[in-house]
Amino acid sequence: MSKKIISWQQYFMGVAKLSAHRSKDPNTQVGACIVSPENKIVGVGYNGLPWGCEDDKFPWQAREGDLYDTKYPYVVHAELNAILNSIGDLKGCTIYVSLFPCHECVKAIIQSGIKEIIYEDEKYKGTDSDRAAKRMLDAAGVKYTKIPAFELNSL
């Protein structure tokens, strides 16, 4: 009986999705995995609070109301965490992310030299943030590709 071997895309997206499970966000858990042109993982991240900020001392549930009382000013997105946690130069790398990046993360992706984004979900497709992100990516020549959702337990 032969065993099915997953593709590089499935492998790296699997790492990104596994990383997402570290997030304490009760609504949207996102993971990211940065890969060199030689298929080596050089950075991994998930959406969470900055180091030293205790999860139980910040608002995770609130998504509406005064900005100060919501999660939004405190959470570091998966893509930025992967960039900040990376080792070495990111020029020419690919980032695998479970959710298409917001416009703020796209700025960091472009500035870091990442050349391609591979993603599964487009939860915010068509929003102003999504449109701005794609406008910047197109202008900077950064490729972005949606791939079908993949579950390891489907093997």
Q: Please name which of 73, 137, 143 lies closest in space to residue 107, comparing C-alpha atoms.
A: 137
105 is annotated as contributing to ligand binding: yes
- pTM of the predicted structure, to 2 decimals: 0.93
Mean pLDDT, range 136-140, rounded to an integer: 98
Q: Which domain holds residue 123?
A: 8-146
Number of domains the chain contains: 1
Q: Is residue 36 situated within a structural domain? A: yes
Q: Of these residues, 38, 64, 79, 116, which one is catalytic? A: 79
- What does the alpha-carbon distance between residue 101 and residue 103 come to, in Å, rounded to a whole number? 7
Q: Within a domain: residue 17?
A: yes
| Cα 117 from Cα 100, distance rounded (Å) | 8
Does 77 appear as a known binding residue? Answer: yes
Counting residues of the chain whose pLDDT is more than 70, the rounded percentage is 96
pLDDT band at 61 (very low <50, low <70, confident <90, very high): confident
The DSSP symbol for 48 reads B
| Residue 25 located in a structural domain | yes
User: Is pLDDT at 151 greater than 90 in this prediction?
Assistant: no
- 79: annotated active-site residue: yes
Q: Is residue 3 part of a domain?
A: no
Domain-embedded: residue 155: no
pLDDT per position as a tens digit, 104-125: 999 999 999 999 999 999 999 9
Instruction: Look at residue 153 and tell me if it is in a domain.
Output: no
For 77-100, write each residue's pLDDT tens digit. Answer: 999 999 999 998 999 999 999 999
Residue 154 lies in a domain: no
pLDDT of 62 strictly over 70: yes
Residue pLDDT, tens place only, 22-36: 999 988 999 999 999
CATH code of residue 133: 3.40.140.10
Q: Which pair of tokens denotes residue 131? A: 């449109």
